[in-house]
Structure 1
Amino acid sequence: MRETTEQTLRAGGLDPAEVRRVIVTAFAEDLGPDFLDVTSVATIPATQMDTADLVARADGVVAGLAVAAAVFEMVGEVTGADGGAGAVEVSLVAHDGRRVARGDVLATVTGPTRLLLTAERTALNLLCRLSGVATHTRAWADALTGSKAMVLDTRKTTSGLRALEKYAVRAGGGTNKRMGLYDVAMIKDNHKFAAGGVAAAYRRVRAAFPDVPVQVEVDTLAEALEAVEAGADFLLLDNMTPATLTEVVAAVGDRAELEATGGLTLDVAARYAATGVDYLSVGALTHSSPILDVALDLRTE
């Protein structure tokens, strides 16, 4: 992985070591224990060199170009073939977070043809996935234009890809919530039930982890007021109608940040944002986004 690629990843809030882990795991899954692409080795001379373009096959928002670049830059090192690390040169044409159109060239790769084709599917799997998340997120961000509400992601991510998918949410104009169970305490219905109520659960979390942010899921106006009076400054308003959300916003005021959550869809996004909540959380950003189709086309000239 070249220094420039590492710098780009870091600039986007990604840990290059984490990206490397994902890529190595993906290569192992695709190439087996010997890290071997039997078709490319059998059909393409080791000395053959080519250039190929990563081309958008649909309109959308691109994310993950530096991740795809890292795949191509690492493939020689991982497979132990054709020049090793950096044998493939990558030139990025587009930029993450930008809208692209069908037919746009996103990046160009040059190097041993075997390596280009060995890396192709791994690079595209990650790039298409992340661009799909960014494209879906941008649709939500656009739907909230004119309101103060921002769209949040959740922990409903693909196992092993959370950091990358949350990066794609940012690239699409969304906002990240907690990364996991360790950085923010979220008191949900089962916690309230087990602890004996909203206030009791909040006090226990605050006593055990005084420096960790605490968020509380509430189902009614009464619960919202109970949570705020206990000290909560971030409430998840679960499965509330716009009318109820409006009541909660008026009753809580600026004592807490308010997030609407539960079954939200794009066609009602503006209506929920108009209630005055600060956030709409949407698990579908990461668990149900279709990919943005991107292909690798070898140049024929």
Structure 2
Amino acid sequence: MMNQIPAATLRQAVTRNVAASIAEDEGSGDRTAALIDPERKVEASVIIRHAGVIAGRPWVDESFRQVDPQLAVTWHCNEGQQVDADTNLLTITGPARSLLTAERIALNWLQTLSGVATRCRSYADRVAHTQTQLLDTRKTLPGMRIAQKYAVRCGSCANHRIGLYDGILIKENHITSCGSITAAVERARETSPDVPLEVETETEAQVAEAIAAGADHIMLDEFPLESMTRVVERYSGIARFEASGGITEQKLATIAETGVDFISLGVLTKDVTAADLSLRIKDDD
């Protein structure tokens, strides 16, 4: 079950996210930046201290724009690009006061989203020799769902459901509450016939029931490798299969080689290691 972020949703998220981050940081005003001559213009560069994949340009550009439209941003790398340590990512010119007010706001977005993209690229590289696509989950930082899922795509992975509204994923508690997999699938087909439908299974018997009920996307939750291989071979071409649960970076290639279509990983977004960035104002001398 792969979905994409609609362009309008992305634009709204960028505007809303940045406005909120400015409000929480600037509040009633930047008291330290107020010490600087309002007429002073400067140039600054943002450097990454280690190799990584860059993501977050829309949020960075919007941060500088919302703080002060006079701030001009020039990028020296592309979104989703793998860069080396000590690469100059972008240059900002304009009023010193505004630049310093916007600094942390912009860097917070860039460091977080680049961290997500870097991890995703590392994981994606491990399964590049297979046809398996890595998917994120809804295990995202509160308020940052769209931003993190955007960064996932910059890192060569893909998006699972954006939210509860754009797909049906029938999990263990839904099955228990509905009475059975069959009952849950039948109800889903009645209420939302055109919405992607996935069923979480824990045994081969549940896989058989889900397929008989008409599910076309099956999650194999913590399946043993032998069982996963058997299921994929038996139902190849009938349903799409997604491995999930307890999957580490070291196990990725082995699981992908079973032939599963997808592997979903909460770790792509919930355990974020931010990129190490530094902004330096150019010395007038």
TM category (shorter chain) comes to: over 0.9
Shift of 1:11: 10
What secondary structure, in the 3-state scheme, does the structure 1 residue paired with 2:91 have? strand
- Map of 2:244 onto structure 1: 261
Q: 1:297 pairs with 275, 280, 283, which one? A: 280
CA contact (8 A) 1:56 1:293 kept: yes
1:164 aligns with 2:134: no
What secondary structure, in the 3-state scheme, does the structure 2 residue paired with 1:38 have? coil
Shift of 1:289: 2.3
Shift of 1:13: 7.8
CA contact (8 A) 1:14 1:164 kept: no
- Map of 2:90 onto structure 1: 107
- Map of 2:102 onto structure 1: 119
Deviations 1:160-190 (A, max 9, x none): 1111110100000001111000110100000
- The one-letter code of the counterpart of 2:212 is E
Distance 1:263 1:296 in 2: 38
- Map of 1:223 onto structure 2: 206
CA contact (8 A) 1:73 1:90 kept: no
Shift of 1:16: 2.2
- Map of 1:54 onto structure 2: 46
Q: How many residue pairs align between the two structures?
A: 280
Distance 1:25 1:292 in 2: 22
Higher RCO by CA contacts (8 Å cutoff, separation 6 or greater): 2
1:17 aligns with 2:12: yes
In structure 2, relative to structure 1, the CA distance for the partners of 1:296 and 1:13 (3 Å cut) is: farther
CA contact (8 A) 2:130 2:257 kept: yes
- Map of 1:142 onto structure 2: 125
Distance 1:106 1:134 in 2: 15
- The one-letter code of the counterpart of 2:16 is R
- Map of 1:40 onto structure 2: 33
Deviations 1:1-57 (A, max 9, x none): xxxxxxxxx99886323211100100111112x2x111111x211111100011111
- The one-letter code of the counterpart of 2:164 is L
1:193 aligns with 2:167: no
Distance 1:55 1:225 in 2: 53
Shift of 1:99: 0.4
1:71 aligns with 2:70: no
Distance 2:10 2:146 in 1: 9
Distance 1:97 1:12 in 2: 18
CA contact (8 A) 2:137 2:265 kept: yes
Give the superposed CA RMSD: 1.4
CA contact (8 A) 2:54 2:82 kept: yes
Identity of aligned residues (%): 40
CA contact (8 A) 2:14 2:58 kept: no
In structure 2, relative to structure 1, the CA distance for the partners of 1:210 and 1:284 (3 Å cut) is: same
Consecutive unaligned residues in structure 1, runs of 5 or more: 1-9, 77-85
- Map of 2:195 onto structure 1: 212
Consecutive unaligned residues in structure 2, runs of 5 or more: none
- Map of 1:28 onto structure 2: 23
- The one-letter code of the counterpart of 1:208 is T
Shift of 1:139: 0.6
Deviations 1:106-149 (A, max 9, x none): 11100100111100111011100000000000011100011111
In structure 2, relative to structure 1, the CA distance for the partners of 1:160 and 1:11 (3 Å cut) is: closer
- Map of 1:182 onto structure 2: 165
Distance 2:9 2:252 in 1: 29
- Map of 1:81 onto structure 2: none
Distance 2:175 2:12 in 1: 38
Shift of 1:295: 1.5
1:245 aligns with 2:221: no
